Amino acid sequence: MSHRVFVGEFRVEGDKRILQCHSRGDKRYSPFFCYVKAFGTKDSIENHYQCAKRFEGCPDPGNWTAARYWKRQGCKQIAWQIGDRQLPVKSNEQGTSFAIDDWGIQYYIALWHRHLSQHPEKVEWARQFDEFEDPFKRDFPFCQADVIRVAAREGVEALLPYFAPLKQLFDTK
The pLDDT of residue 1 is 41
Average pLDDT for the chain: 92
Q: Where are the beta strands (DSSP E) in 21-152?
A: 35-38, 41-44, 53-55, 77-82, 85-88, 131-133
Residue 67 confidence (pLDDT) above 60: yes
The pLDDT of residue 139 is 84
Binned at pLDDT 50, 70 and 90, residue 7 comes out as low
The rounded distance, in Å, linking the Cα atoms of 36 and 79 is 22
The pLDDT of residue 11 is 77
Q: What is the pLDDT of residues 128-164, one digit of tens each?
A: 999 999 988 888 899 999 999 999 999 999 999 999 9
